[in-house]
Structure 1
Amino acid sequence: MKKTKQRPAPLPGPRQAMREKPMVATVYVLLRFSVILVMVAQFFNKNFENVFLCVLTLILLLLPAILERSLRIQLPDTLEIIILLFIYAAEILGEIREFYTTFQGWDTMLHTLNGFLCAAIGFSLVDLFNRNERFSLSLSPLFMAIVAFCFSMTIGVLWEFFECTMDQLFFLDMQKDAIVNTIGSVMLDPTGGQTPIVVRGITDVILVTEQGNIPLGLGGYLDIGLLDTMKDLAVNFVGAVVFSIIGYFYVKSRGEGRFARRFIPRVEKSDGPETKNETQQPRQE
């Protein structure tokens, strides 16, 4: 007699999910209400670019719930709240409220958090595969930590590619410029060789254009995005390393890592066996 494959239990609806996650639901409602207020204000100010950004933010705020339903996983409350706050801080506070320029460390803080979150997501994907009966995987904690780190850094690099593309095509200055007072370049070598010529004590830069000379008055040389990109990747590296270490020890002591458990999704329970034993120890290293 042919066995019928047991289907997983249906996922809870939005109302039930709100009852099960009251804190997440409260944060979501407050952020969504705030975004709508900002969108209305931007509409009356005829700033339609920011209106579109608000619409995009409303869509992004739905991502955690969409991922839960499509991948049949359960996001920990801590991870879901941080994702929601990250989206709001990046799009509404950072772009529309101009926190990126008002607070010097705002961009650095978000990129560090991005590295941490992306490492958590990458680690979770591998962890879910590692514990799923349909995949014959038995990955070591070290390998899972390395994959999480590489996943986070890849996302960081792809984002920098996106920023550079937008700057080159639309001059949006997403890679924020920096002011430096010392430069070294082989292009200044009068012999045309490869000897870098160092110029120190730069106090201003004058642009020579078809309309005339324009002194920038910035107090130094204008670095076009390079230092910002390297800083973003450096802090992304820090966030990725921190979570990779946390994830490593979480797998080494499955079920005992209370802190890591707040950032690692769980597979939704089903009527049939879907995952390996939660306490099953992977190959140790």
Structure 2
Amino acid sequence: MENKSSNKIIVLISLISNVLMFVVAFYLLIYVLATGDDPNGRLLSHFATTTLTALPLIAYAVLKEKMNVFLLVFYTFYVFVAVFLGASMNFYNQFENINYDKLIHVFFGYTTAILGLIVLIKTNKLNQSSLFFNLLFIFSFGMMIEAVWEMLEFSMDQLLGSTTQGVPVLGFNGKYLVDVGETMFDIISNFIGVLIFIIQFTFYTKTKKAPIMSFMIRELSK
């Protein structure tokens, strides 16, 4: 009973957080559309935030008690730091001095590894496969998502004129070019996130003494 009460409180906090982010981002979206005042080019970011914060609200309305609490909390936290703060609040540019973008890419890598773990759990492969296979799958899955993400960013920059892969600089040939280093550092950051998860998962598999990983697998298996 106590566990159910705790879960209800956690779910409520997560849903309220999504509502607040939705309200702020929606207001900013309407403001930009109405006034055209968007000096930092945040229009698409506000749209992304409103969409991504609305999804868990819709999901909860449909699933109710069946909604996975761990996924809801993790999703809410990721959207908060990566989309709401990073994109809508422009933290990626405002806090470029502390490499906020790269820190989020590390977190993104860890997140994609969790998605790989979910696939293994839902397909009943986690306990039936060797440690090597599980690690190879999680690593490959995480890096595949990062590759797809970078392709999406490249496509957006080409089609919409955005600068998600870096601001073009004037080259020696007189043409504006985007430094490939930005993309490579994103991939490396993602790799670090995946690697952190793999080390954590390996320690859990060998010792069964990793409480965070144990909790994660138990919650994702529900």
- How far residue 25 of structure 1 moved from its aligned partner, in angstroms, is 2.5
2-structure distance, mates of 1:107, 1:228: 10
Taking structure 1 as reference, are residues 50 and 205 closer, same or farther at Cα in structure 2, changes over 3 Å only? closer
Q: What is the CA deviation profile of residues 3-34 of structure 1, one whole-angstrom value per residue up to 9, with x for unaligned ones?
A: xxxxxxxxxxxxxx786242243133123223
The residue that corresponds to 2:86 in the other structure is: 94
Contact persistence 1:53–1:91 (CA under 8 A): yes
- How far residue 99 of structure 1 moved from its aligned partner, in angstroms, is 1.2
1-structure distance, mates of 2:162, 2:137: 33
Contact persistence 1:130–1:139 (CA under 8 A): no
- How far residue 232 of structure 1 moved from its aligned partner, in angstroms, is 0.6
Contact persistence 1:116–1:243 (CA under 8 A): yes
1-structure distance, mates of 2:110, 2:139: 9
- Count, aligned residues: 208
CA-based RMSD: 3.5
- How far residue 141 of structure 1 moved from its aligned partner, in angstroms, is 1.8
* Structure 1 stretch displaced more, 243-252 or 97-106: 243-252
One of 97, 102, 105 as aligned partner of 1:108? 102
The residue that corresponds to 2:156 in the other structure is: 166
- How far residue 54 of structure 1 moved from its aligned partner, in angstroms, is 3.7
The residue that corresponds to 1:191 in the other structure is: none
Contact persistence 1:178–1:225 (CA under 8 A): yes
One of 113, 138, 156 as aligned partner of 1:119? 113
Q: What is the CA deviation profile of residues 101-129 of structure 1, one whole-angstrom value per residue up to 9, with x for unaligned ones?
A: 11111110111001011112202321343
One of 172, 175, 187 as aligned partner of 1:233? 187
Give the match's secondary structure for 2:128: coil
- How far residue 223 of structure 1 moved from its aligned partner, in angstroms, is 5.2
Taking structure 1 as reference, are residues 34 and 59 closer, same or farther at Cα in structure 2, changes over 3 Å only? closer
Identity %: 21
User: Which residue identity is paired with 1:88?
Assistant: F
Larger helix fraction of residues: 2
2-structure distance, mates of 1:156, 1:224: 19
The residue that corresponds to 1:263 in the other structure is: 216
Give the TM-score, by structure 1 length.
0.61
The residue that corresponds to 2:7 in the other structure is: 20
Larger strand fraction of residues: 1
One of 8, 22, 25 as aligned partner of 1:38? 25
Find out whether 1:145 has 2:99 as its counterpart. Answer: no
The residue that corresponds to 1:6 in the other structure is: none
2-structure distance, mates of 1:243, 1:64: 27
Give the match's secondary structure for 1:130: coil
One of 39, 49, 53 as aligned partner of 2:48? 53
- How far residue 239 of structure 1 moved from its aligned partner, in angstroms, is 0.6
2-structure distance, mates of 1:126, 1:168: 35
- In structure 1, runs of 5+ residues without a counterpart are 1-16, 180-203, 210-221, 269-285
2-structure distance, mates of 1:232, 1:172: 17
- How far residue 49 of structure 1 moved from its aligned partner, in angstroms, is 4.7
Give the TM-score, by structure 2 length.
0.76
User: Which residue identity is paired with 1:117?
Assistant: T
